[in-house]
Amino acid sequence: MRDYAYSFLILIVLLLCQLSVRTFFPSLIYIPDFLLVFVVLKSLIKGYKSSAVSALTAGILQDILLGEFIGAFTIVKPIVTFFSSALSGRFFAENFVIPPAVVFMATILHETLFILLKENFNYNFDFISLFINIILPLAFINASIAFVFYLFYYFLLSEGAVDWIE
C-alpha cells in the first residue's frame, strides 16, 4: 500500500509540473507528458503488474484535470504501459539508450491512440500533418526527459538511495 501511496504522490507532483509548464514557459508549443514518461519508465523497470495501477491512476488524473474527452487517457495509458512493459527485464540497466527509445515509441503510440479515440467523432483531421507537426516533436521531448529521468534514477539507485519509482 505504501508503494501505491508513493506512486500517487509522484503522479500528483508530476501532474502539477505538467500543468505549470505553460505558466512558466508561455511560448512553449509542446507540453511534455511527464506522467507518460514516469509510467513507461516504471513499466520498464518494475514490469506491468507494478505499473498498471500507476498507469490507470495517471490516466484518470489526466482525464479529470486535462480531459477534453473524458476517458481517453484512462484507456490509452494502460495500453501503452502494457506494450512498453513487454521489454521489462530484457535489457541491461546500464544501457541508457533503451528507455528513451521506448518512451519515444510509447509517445507515438500514446498520441496516435489518443487522436484516434478523440477524433473518432470528427473525421476531419490530417494524420500525416499531425504526426509530423505534433507527435514527433512531442516524442523527442518526452524521450529527452526520459533520458534525464533514467540517468537520475540509475545513479540514485547505484548510490543506495530510496527507490522513487516504487
Res 28: pLDDT: 84
> Which three three-digit cell numbers place residue 156?
540514485
- Host domain of residue 122: 2-158
Residue 77 covered by a domain: yes
Q: Look at the chain and report how many structural domains it folds into.
A: 1
Task: Give the mean model confidence (pLDDT) for residues 94-111.
Answer: 92
Long-range contacts from 17-21, C-beta under 8 angstroms, 24+ separation: 19/65, 19/66
Provide the pLDDT for residue 17: 92
Residue-wise pLDDT for 27-68, tens only, equals 888 999 999 999 999 998 888 888 999 999 999 999 998 767
Residue 164 in any domain: the answer is: no
Write out pLDDT tens, residues 76-85. 999 999 999 8
Identify whether 52 is part of a domain: yes
